[in-house]
Amino acid sequence: MPIDNPNVDRGKMVDSVSIPILRSKRAYTAFPSSDDRWELVRAFIREGGLVRHQIDSFNDFVEKKLQEIVNENNIIETEVKGLYIKLERIEVGKPRVREADASEHILYPMEPGLGT
């Protein structure tokens, strides 16, 4: 059931959806019922799952945003006059550890029951 918006001419809708005005007492009574809202939640979970938006956000951060942050702060000044570090293209790879003897190996998650 559409909610009247006093800022829009009667009969005209913005993008085919009326805009509710929360100050209106009528808007409070026209909100979807609890069952309708739960149906929206179920549809959201069916479409993308509970964590899809978090995975997508993380992937966007790693693939795009992290490089943008580096580009904005790419010069690191040192205490030595005329010496600085300039960061350019970054890469995100598998987690690795470098030991004191300069050997490297990939870090893996601990399996339950192994180690302390």
User: In sequence order, which ranges of the chain are alpha helices (DSSP H)?
Assistant: 25-29, 34-48, 52-60, 66-72
Q: How far apart are CA 17 and CA 86, in angstroms?
A: 50
What are the residue boundaries of the structural domains of the chain, listed by start?
Answer: 32-106
Q: What is the DSSP letter of 79?
A: S
pLDDT level of residue 34 (50, 70, 90 thresholds): confident
More confident residue, 40 or 112: 40
Is the pLDDT at 112 greater than 80? The verdict is no
Kindly state the average pLDDT of the residues 86-101. Answer: 91
Q: What is the mean pLDDT of residues 28-33?
A: 67
pLDDT of amino acid 70: 93
**Reported pTM:** 0.47
Q: What is the pLDDT of residues 53-89, one digit of tens each?
A: 899 999 999 999 999 999 999 999 999 999 999 999 9
Residues 6+ apart with CB under 8 A from 31: 20
Q: Check if the beta carbon of residue 88 is closer than 8 Å to that of residue 74.
A: yes
